[in-house]
Structure 1
């Protein structure tokens, strides 16, 4: 039995799942180098991405698709060796996941998929703003989260 060919909505969910897999991996690196006073935030963000990853896997399976597994490793766009680099990576992770979920918003055909994507995009934008604020970046928000 083969899986159905994914449509635009499902392909965007597959891309969002890939971003969530990368986020879970990336937050492991953030946890290793983050300021210890940020441990609670790192833990909460990691848990949020794990939950979003798991829910996306469930949604793809419900659509009759076999979700791709996480890659064996990921490339980090810059060296992370200290708390500042860890916070910068957290901002990058949230920006990347926001971009992926914005794509789902744009391609979603079902109301549940669109609502899930809007929630995920909003949550990523809020986490990114928190990390930008921690870095002293002003303003901590961007006009259109998820826009590449």
Structure 2
């Protein structure tokens, strides 16, 4: 292994560590969110927690396979706000998934092609989870006009009118 290959492999390890740090933070927050929600929202939070735990374990394996030591999670993480309601809980979940997506975006620039594929799938999953927590109303692309809602009709339209 030449010096450039060793440097590239070390760079990949640092990218893996950043993704791992994002997963640690997501697990901390989803643990809190799962404890503070109920019903179908809690089930979705639990599903997200399980997905992030699986990704965390995979990242730890990738790091140790490369001869490096994965970082352990912090005892606590600062949250941007406290999820005191289901609305705030879903807002925090969206925030978490956005952060995880950003960490995997950096991993998508890894030297190892397999890691780039892994990062792309992880980003796709995080974005899908994020949109699952958002309100059902889609957002227009930047620069595109927002479609106007049709005005409510005062009487139903019947066929043939």
CA shift, 1:8, in A, is: 1.7
Within a 5 Å distance, the mapping from 1:36-55 to structure 2 comes to 36-55=39-58
Larger Cα-atom Rg: 2
Distance (Å, rounded) in 1 between the aligned partners of 2:26 and 2:95 = 9
Counterpart selection for 1:125 from 119, 124, 127: 127
Q: Structure 1-normalised TM-score?
A: 0.84
Q: Which has the higher contact order (CA 8 A, sep 6+)?
A: 1
Aligned length: 136
The question of whether the paired residues in 2 share the 8 Å contact of 1:129 and 1:141 is answered with no
Distance (Å, rounded) in 1 between the aligned partners of 2:141 and 2:20 = 24
Counterpart selection for 1:30 from 29, 33, 39: 33
CA shift, 1:35, in A, is: 4.3
2:104 equivalent in structure 1: 101
Structure 1 residues 80 and 18, CA gap change in structure 2 (3 angstroms): same
The question of whether the paired residues in 2 share the 8 Å contact of 1:9 and 1:109 is answered with yes
Secondary structure at 2:134's aligned position in 1? helix
Matched, 1:139 2:142: no
CA shift, 1:140, in A, is: 9.2
Please list every run of at least 4 consecutive aligned residues from structure 1 whose deviation after the TM superposition is greater than 3 angstroms.
none
CA shift, 1:34, in A, is: 2.6
> Please, which runs of 5 or more residues in structure 2 have no aligned partner?
1-5, 143-161
Residues 54-63 or 82-91, more deviating: 82-91
Q: Structure 2-normalised TM-score?
A: 0.78
Structure 1 residues 11 and 77, CA gap change in structure 2 (3 angstroms): same
Q: Larger % of helix: which?
A: 1
